[in-house]
Each structure stands twice: as structure tokens, then as C-alpha cells.
Amino acid sequence: MTLKNISRKNRNPVPNGIIYLKGGDLDEEIKIYRERVRIWNIKDFFSEPFFETKKVVYLPVYADYAGSS
């Protein structure tokens, strides 16, 4: 559903992909993507308690997947 909205052409230094804002334990959710996914802890940038468990998750979408249904 989302892949049709991702361009096959990359115009940025970071490859096209999906960026998620997530909280909690992500181990089970990202298990199949473990080799590709990048995760940043938001608490490293913001000190408020709300951000203790929040993460930014980046999942690159490779050109051979983008645009396919």
C-alpha cells in the first residue's frame, strides 16, 4: 500500500524509505528488517521524560521494491 507512493528515483543523499516515530519495544516488529533498519533514540536529542521510550525508525526501500504493487 505504501510502496506505490515511494519514487523509484532517489534525489537525496539518504535513500528513499519510510520514517516511523515509534515507542516501546520494537524487537518483534523489526525482526525481519534487522539488517536494513536504522534506529535513533529520541532521548539522545530531547531530555523530557516523554521521549524516554520514543525512537525514530528509518527503513530504506530499495528501487526494486518501490513502485511495485
d(CA 67, CA 3): 6
What's this model's pTM, rounded to 2 decimal places?
0.72
Question: How many helices, marked H, and strands, marked E, lie in the chain?
Answer: 0, 3
Domain ranges of the chain: 3-60
**Cβ within 8 Å of residue 69, ≥6 positions away:** 3, 4
pLDDT digits (tens, 9 = 90+) for 23-56: 989 999 889 988 899 999 999 999 999 999 999 9
pLDDT band at 2 (very low <50, low <70, confident <90, very high): low
